[in-house]
Chains A and B, each alone.
Chain A
C-alpha cells in the first residue's frame, strides 16, 4: 500500500464548477497535511495546510481532514482555467517528520 494515494486523473471539470480532489494516507500517526499546486514545468507551490479534523477555508479553496478515515480532500469552488494544474497531497508524520507526497491529481478546467 502506498503511503499517500491520489487518483492520477485527469479530473476534468467545467469552468465555474466545484473540483473535488481526494487523498488517503496510511500512517495513522500523521499530524500535518498539505496541498500543493504544480503547474507544468514549475515547482510545487503550497496552497493549503490543515492540522485538525474538519474544514479549513481560504478563498475558493477548502481543505477537509478526517483522521479517523485517514482521508484529506481539497475543494476548489468556482473553478477557473487557471486552476488547471497537478495537485499534490503531502502528509507529514512518522520518524523525523518526513513529508510524503502523493503522485498528484491532474486537474483540467475547461471553458
Chain B
C-alpha cells in the first residue's frame, strides 16, 4: 500500500522519559511534516522538511528534535517528556511544499 505510516500507534510513558516516533512515506514525496493535535483537536504544525532539509520549525521546545535520514523518513525524538506533551502526533507528506499534505494514522502519546 502506498501511504504514510508511523509507529507506534500508541505510546504511554512516564514524565521525564525520552521517546521516539518513526514516520515513513513510500509516495516519493519531497516534503514531510510533523503536526500536533491537542485535546481540543487543534492541529498545529511543528516541523516541515523538504528533501531532508528543515524548512519550517515552529515555536516548539527544543526537547523536540526531528531527524530526516532520507526524504522518505522523518522521525521525531522527544526528550524529558512533560504532561503537556500528551497529544496525537501526525506525520504527513506532500509532493512539494505547495500541495496539501497526506496524513499518517497518528501516534497517541500519553504522558503520566
Listed in ascending order, the chain A residues whose CB lies under 8 Å from chain B are 32, 34, 38, 42-46, 49, 86, 88, 90, 92, 96-101, 103-104
Contact = CB atoms under 8 A, between A and B. Distances in A.
B17 to A, nearest CB: 25
A98 B56 contact: yes
A44 B101 CA distance: 10
Given A43-B106, A103-B42, A49 B55 contact: no
Contact of A98 (B45, B90, B102, B106): B45
Interface residues of B, number: 19
Contacts of A45: 103
Nearest to A100: B45
Given A101-B44, A104-B42, 16 more contacts: A32-B98, A32-B100, A42-B105, A43-B90, A43-B104, A43-B105, A43-B106, A44-B90, A46-B102, A86-B41, A97-B98, A99-B45, A99-B100, A101-B42, A101-B43, A103-B40
Interface of B: 40-45, 48, 55-56, 90, 97-98, 100-106
A90 B97 contact: no
A31 B101 CA distance: 15
Given A44-B90, A46-B102, A96 B97 contact: yes
B66 to A, nearest CB: 15
Nearest to B91: A43
A35 B60 CA distance: 25
A103 B104 CA distance: 19
12 contacts: A42-B105, A43-B103, A43-B104, A46-B100, A49-B100, A86-B41, A97-B97, A98-B48, A99-B100, A101-B43, A104-B42, A104-B43
